[in-house]
Chain A
Amino acid sequence: MQAFSDLLERLILTASRNTKVELMVNYFRQTPDPARGWTLAVLTGELDIPGVKGGSIRRLAEDRVDPELFRMSYDYVGDLAETVSLIWPSRRGANRIPPMEDVIEALLGATRPEGERLVAGWLDMLEPPQRWALIKMVTGGLRIGVSARLTKVALAEMGGVEPAEIEEIWHGLAPPNESLFAWLDGDAEKPSPDIKAPFRPVMLAHPLVTKDKRDDPDAIDPAMIDPSIFAAEWKYDGIRVQAVSERGVRRIYTRTGDDISHTFPDVLAAMDFEAAIDGELLIRAPNGEVAPFNELQQRLNRKTVTRKQMEARPAMIRAYDILVEGGEDLRTLPFSERRKRLETFVERTGSDRIDLSPLVPVTSLDALEAARNDPPAPEIEGLMLKRWDSVYEAGRPTGPWWKWKRDPFLVDAVMMYAQRGHGRRSSFHSDFTFGVWREGEDGEDELTPVGKAYFGFTDEELKQLDKFVRENTVDRFGPVRAVTANKEKGLVLEVAFEGLQRSPRHKSGLAMRFPRVNRIRWDKPSAEADRLETLEKMLPADPLFGKSSPA
């Protein structure tokens, strides 16, 4: 437990992605089996310890500490695991740190009352940092800023293999994953588990953006694309998934290989086929069209889904590609062949839960350019270009596929608040809340915040922004600074974003998708920044769901 709790502690306090990977690699190299395998299961959220939940932990603590003192402490600390770990009375002389595997193996075989007794006994023995790690481990939901994906990246780095290789076998492994570590240590062959309905590493596309856009070093000029050798289809704003149904097992994976089947039983039920397809998970609106992304968001990240939710927001897959059919691996076929197979497949499946992503006719680059910026539905992010001769290959190869997003929306907004960033950026103010003008209650114009951006600028620009913040601070609330922002003085930011939705949760009633700073308008007077009405005109025409209209 000691090494595990040290690892969690450092991970939660480290902002840098690379340092997190480095910390995990070190841990996996230095920790023996089976402890490291259990840790892996905890980090990737695959360990489910039944019985002991947050409520039990709180009760255990309140049996030992005055509930009033507990309440005051919890109010101050704000996190249950942290409060309990600190407030738990030490039993002097009881300190012995149990090994990770003892803790987990005992808990997995325990009933609920037994589990609670075990946890209480360990809490007596441990010091606060290990108590905290123990509570996080048994109650789940670490929230330490490490995704399953990042953990796999660390494993790959440890073994000198590609993350895709790990994803491929992931679902056939079970904690404590000894065969996986034996392979990564170089002591054994790669495990070849007999996985039913496995995940196949996904093929991704580079963005196609013109050279003058600086944010992507791989950007290339669309003029270099020969439209005659490419197919084009719409890129929908949902979740890229792989739906696999083989030998009686059905699974829905995200593009990083996370299994999200349990969240979409309605789609799973419709997967009455023997194949693996690649597509976009979407919600069908009552009018039959695709619903906005936030409708899909309502169904994500839920452990269980109710019938009501499924009826109100029915999910479906819009199929892009087919990888396996009837046991035959199609990935080495050219896209032209796979597309034919896909069309027949979708027709034969005959379910309204699975439909075909339509192709966009390719006449010329200009026609594509026009289509890209005027898609038939607001839930389309742009175009996907796929070479007719492209095989389906894992990763993000350069050349065969391109995504060509519609141009972002742009708005000129005024910086209102700034907050310090994290990690490398922790000494700079790098999170900016910006607003646009609207008429206030008193009839005077006022700024209303419409979003927050923390990227889009170069390091040099970040320094200039930080300087502006420091020199124009008018107020401070904790880590947040309010800056001068009025009609006479204020900094205008040209903000780019991908889409706009109504949101009663935001003061302005609007929520932006992927806002970022496109340009700093040092030259533009703040009074000339955009107004809220301009943004409202950018909203998609009549909302499909009554609930998303302004509150």
Chain B
Amino acid sequence: MAGKTCGQILYGQAMIRPDLLLHPTPKGLYCPPGDFYIDPVRGSVDRAVVTHGHADHARSGHGAVLATPETLAIMDARYGEDFTANRQPIEYGETVEINGVTVWMSPAGHVLGSAQVVVEWKGLRMVCTGDYKRRRDPTCRQFEPVPDTHVFISEATFGLPVFKHPDTDGEIRKLLDSVALFPDRTHLVGVYALGKAQRVIKLLREAGYNETLYIHGALEKLCQLYEDHGVALGPLETATLDTKERGAQERFRGKIVLGPPSSFHDKWGRRFPDPLPCFASGWMSVRQRAKQSGVELPLIISDHADWDELTDTVREVNPEELWITHGREDALVRWAELEGRKARPLRLVGYEDESID
């Protein structure tokens, strides 16, 4: 078992600075001995290890991509089969050696195929979470903490103590109650195409909503992909409208239509009768933010860890050092300070918040 001294991890006789194994660069988190990047954000690199399929983490054009088979399938669906010259699928728990560095994946609970990347070298274990959450999600594998982690490299998208996401089932109930209260309006639910869309659909099914759900074209491929991976989503139909046919839009009254939030402001979103704009996102806990974006029914459903999940996870993993990749790192650093933990903000640029518009 590893002992520690100030700022260094002692393993056996060797003293290895974690920086030698992984450190931030403008292109992303880089591993010099293994010569690979984790979720590179800029340009193309020879070898990338990708945590999950969201576009800001999984970019097209790298020489080789090591990722879970689901993530590779998502990249294929989004970018086409030429997104990389060399696909290297890796199942959760399977290990791979890259130039003497051991790499394996542990589920992150964020979206289908999402993984924490575990990097081991000379007895030093570093874990990069990518994006993660701890709540139940019927569309992907639950987060699994990695024991004996020396350096835990966490996201902090919702890294402020004001972010405490309520019970997800309650939010789904809110949506269904609103559909019952306003049976003449079209509930337009803003969801991200990957992950959020399928999770919301699946949760609606679990809550007993069996009617056809209408989806924007941008959601089709990924819903199909989830279905192919064994996530049954029930009856879905593409919400296309023949504008020449009079009254065609009337059939959407009282129905739930899902689409990327940006689509509500373009032509597509404006055709639905008496729309009631909803948005499923962790940001919706801040009322002012919901109001500014014209959302009438905020649904606080997040695929990221909230404050309590972030801090509870750090306590559970109990690493020697906490590094923070992206999000509101300052507050998490402050919290670590108060807890007597060593923390370091990496300030990686290029990952996006789940944002509106």
A52-92: which have CB < 8 Å to B? 65-66, 68-69, 72-73, 76-79, 82-83, 86-87, 90
Given contacts A14-B296, A128-B166, contact A73 B160 (CB under 8 A): yes
Question: Contact at A427–B162, with CB atoms within 8 Å?
Answer: no
Is A262's beta carbon under 8 Å from chain B? Answer: no
Question: Contact at B164–A128, with CB atoms within 8 Å?
Answer: yes
**Chain B residue nearest to A9 in the complex (CB):** B287
Is B34's beta carbon under 8 Å from chain A? Answer: no
Question: What's the least CB distance linking B297 to chain A, in Å?
Answer: 7
Is B330's beta carbon under 8 Å from chain A? Answer: yes
Is B277's beta carbon under 8 Å from chain A? Answer: yes
**Chain A residue nearest to B269 in the complex (CB):** A427
Is B102's beta carbon under 8 Å from chain A? Answer: no
**Chain A residue nearest to B286 in the complex (CB):** A77
Given contacts A72-B331, A77-B286, A427-B269, contact A420 B294 (CB under 8 A): yes
Is B295's beta carbon under 8 Å from chain A? Answer: yes
**Chain A residue nearest to B271 in the complex (CB):** A427
**Chain B residue nearest to A145 in the complex (CB):** B291
B294-313: which have CB < 8 Å to A? 294-298
**Chain B residue nearest to A422 in the complex (CB):** B294
A479 / chain B contacts, CB cutoff of 8 Å: 292-293, 357
Question: Contact at B296–A77, with CB atoms within 8 Å?
Answer: no
Question: Contact at B166–A77, with CB atoms within 8 Å?
Answer: no
Is A192's beta carbon under 8 Å from chain B? Answer: no
**Chain A residue nearest to B185 in the complex (CB):** A19
Cross-chain contact of B270 among A69, A77, A82, A427 (Cβ < 8 A): A427
In the bound assembly, the distance between CA atoms of A90 and B306 in angstroms comes to: 14
Question: Contact at B334–A132, with CB atoms within 8 Å?
Answer: no
Question: What's the least CB distance linking A235 to chain B, in Å?
Answer: 36
Question: Contact at A127–B331, with CB atoms within 8 Å?
Answer: no
A69 / chain B contacts, CB cutoff of 8 Å: 160-161, 331, 334-335
Given contacts A87-B161, A87-B162, A479-B292, contact A82 B286 (CB under 8 A): yes
Question: Contact at A68–B294, with CB atoms within 8 Å?
Answer: no
B162 / chain A contacts, CB cutoff of 8 Å: 73, 76-77, 83, 86-87
B357 / chain A contacts, CB cutoff of 8 Å: 479
| A interface, size bucket | 20 to 34
Question: What's the least CB distance linking B48 to chain A, in Å?
Answer: 31
**Chain A residue nearest to B330 in the complex (CB):** A72
B334 / chain A contacts, CB cutoff of 8 Å: 66, 68-69, 72
Is A13's beta carbon under 8 Å from chain B? Answer: yes
In the bound assembly, the distance between CA atoms of A440 and B10 in angstroms comes to: 65
Given contacts A14-B296, A79-B288, A82-B286, contact A420 B265 (CB under 8 A): yes
B265 / chain A contacts, CB cutoff of 8 Å: 420, 426-427
Question: Contact at A12–B291, with CB atoms within 8 Å?
Answer: yes
Question: What's the least CB distance linking B336 to chain A, in Å?
Answer: 11
A79 / chain B contacts, CB cutoff of 8 Å: 287-288
Most chain B CB within a 10 A radius of its CB, from A15, A86, A87, A427: A427
Question: Contact at B297–A86, with CB atoms within 8 Å?
Answer: no
B223-276: which have CB < 8 Å to A? 264-265, 269-270, 275
**Chain A residue nearest to B177 in the complex (CB):** A6
Given contacts A87-B161, A127-B166, A426-B277, contact A73 B287 (CB under 8 A): no
Cross-chain contact of A78 among B166, B270, B288, B290 (Cβ < 8 A): B288
Question: Contact at B161–A65, with CB atoms within 8 Å?
Answer: yes
A72 / chain B contacts, CB cutoff of 8 Å: 160, 328, 330-331, 334
Question: Contact at B328–A76, with CB atoms within 8 Å?
Answer: yes
Given contacts A13-B298, A420-B294, contact A76 B288 (CB under 8 A): no
Is B338's beta carbon under 8 Å from chain A? Answer: yes
Q: Fill in one digit per residue for B30-70: 1 if any A CB lies within 8 Å of its CB, else 0.
A: 00000000000000000000000000000000000000000
Question: What's the least CB distance linking A297 to chain B, in Å?
Answer: 26
In the bound assembly, the distance between CA atoms of A422 and B335 in angstroms comes to: 38
Question: Contact at A13–B291, with CB atoms within 8 Å?
Answer: yes
Is B285's beta carbon under 8 Å from chain A? Answer: yes
Question: Contact at A426–B287, with CB atoms within 8 Å?
Answer: no
**Chain B residue nearest to A470 in the complex (CB):** B266
**Chain B residue nearest to A23 in the complex (CB):** B181
In the bound assembly, the distance between CA atoms of A86 and B328 in angstroms comes to: 16
In the bound assembly, the distance between CA atoms of A46 and B166 in angstroms comes to: 33
Question: What's the least CB distance linking A420 to chain B, in Å?
Answer: 7
Q: Fill in one digit per residue for A318-345: 1 if any B CB lies within 8 Å of its CB, else 0.
A: 0000000000000000000000000000
In the bound assembly, the distance between CA atoms of A420 and B357 in angstroms comes to: 12
Question: What's the least CB distance linking A130 to chain B, in Å?
Answer: 12
**Chain B residue nearest to A127 in the complex (CB):** B166
A381-427: which have CB < 8 Å to B? 420, 422, 426-427
Question: Contact at A12–B161, with CB atoms within 8 Å?
Answer: no
Question: Contact at B164–A86, with CB atoms within 8 Å?
Answer: yes
In the bound assembly, the distance between CA atoms of A426 and B286 in angstroms comes to: 19
Cross-chain contact of B338 among A14, A66, A87, A128 (Cβ < 8 A): A66
Is B121's beta carbon under 8 Å from chain A? Answer: no
A427 / chain B contacts, CB cutoff of 8 Å: 264-265, 269-270, 275
A90 / chain B contacts, CB cutoff of 8 Å: 164
Question: Contact at B331–A73, with CB atoms within 8 Å?
Answer: yes
A259-277: which have CB < 8 Å to B? none
Question: Contact at A77–B161, with CB atoms within 8 Å?
Answer: no
In the bound assembly, the distance between CA atoms of A128 and B295 in angstroms comes to: 19
Question: Contact at B330–A77, with CB atoms within 8 Å?
Answer: no
Question: What's the least CB distance linking A279 to chain B, in Å?
Answer: 38
B79 / chain A contacts, CB cutoff of 8 Å: none
In the bound assembly, the distance between CA atoms of A76 and B285 in angstroms comes to: 12
B292 / chain A contacts, CB cutoff of 8 Å: 478-479
B264 / chain A contacts, CB cutoff of 8 Å: 427
In the bound assembly, the distance between CA atoms of A196 and B265 in angstroms comes to: 53
Most chain A CB within a 10 A radius of its CB, from B163, B166, B265: B265
Question: What's the least CB distance linking B175 to chain A, in Å?
Answer: 13
In the bound assembly, the distance between CA atoms of A428 and B269 in angstroms comes to: 11
In the bound assembly, the distance between CA atoms of A83 and B288 in angstroms comes to: 11
Question: Contact at A12–B294, with CB atoms within 8 Å?
Answer: no
Question: Contact at A13–B296, with CB atoms within 8 Å?
Answer: yes
In the bound assembly, the distance between CA atoms of A87 and B307 in angstroms comes to: 10
- Measured CB to CB, the residues of B under 8 A from A are 160-164, 166, 264-265, 269-270, 275, 277, 285-288, 290-298, 328, 330-331, 334-335, 338, 357
Given contact pairs A73-B162, A76-B286, A479-B292, enumerate 14 new A-B contacts (beta carbons under 8 Å): A12-B291, A13-B295, A66-B335, A66-B338, A69-B331, A72-B160, A73-B160, A76-B160, A79-B288, A82-B287, A82-B288, A128-B164, A420-B294, A428-B270
Q: Which 3 A-B pairs have the closest CB atoms?
A: A86-B162, A426-B294, A73-B162
> 7 pairs across A/B with beta carbons < 8 Å?
A13-B296, A65-B161, A69-B160, A73-B161, A76-B160, A86-B163, A86-B286
- Measured CB to CB, the residues of A under 8 A from B are 9-10, 12-15, 65-66, 68-69, 72-73, 76-79, 82-83, 86-87, 90, 127-128, 132, 420, 422, 426-428, 478-479
